[in-house]
Amino acid sequence: MTPVLENNKRLIIKKDKVICKAKITPKDFKNPESESVNSVARFFVYEPEFCGVATLKEGDKDNVRDAIHIAESKMERQYYKFILHFLKYEKSAFESVLPQLDAMIEKNTRNIESITKHILDVVASMD
């Protein structure tokens, strides 16, 4: 399990279910790269809570250890689905502005080439 979930998880054990919850905040990401684009800390501004529930069904063997593992795994899956949603959103947002960025790059490249040509013309006229 990812440390950010492990450090924030709460287990609730009831007669017929095990609940595993973790509320995550940006402060929970204390690694040096928490400010980089590789960090997912930026997605946790609204401090979501992830919850996994393992329910004992009719005929299931009562095994609290396995139920805890299932509840934790469901919580962790929810956490990664949350991150995946925002990563896909960011990718889509970047892709939508790529044509504008390409146009700006072309314009600036033309400006640099024009200024370089102008400098060469001025230097040539000095002879």
Q: In a structure prediction context, what are the per-residue pLDDT tens digits for the chain, which is 127 residues long?
A: 899 999 999 999 998 899 999 999 988 987 655 567 788 998 998 999 999 999 988 777 778 889 999 999 999 999 999 999 999 999 999 999 999 999 999 999 999 999 999 999 999 998 7
Note whether residue 102 is domain-resident: no
Domain that holds residue 30: 3-95
In whole angstroms, give the CA distance from residue 50 to residue 36: 24
**Predicted TM-score of the model (pTM):** 0.78
Burial class (CB in 10 A: 0-12, 13-18, 19+), 3: exposed
How many distinct structural domains can be found in the chain? 1
Report the distance separating Cα 45 and Cα 8, nearest Å. Answer: 16
Q: Is residue 18 part of a domain?
A: yes
What are φ and ψ of residue 14, in 5° steps?
-115, 180
Q: For residues 121 and 90, what is the distance between their CA atoms, to the nearest angstrom? A: 45
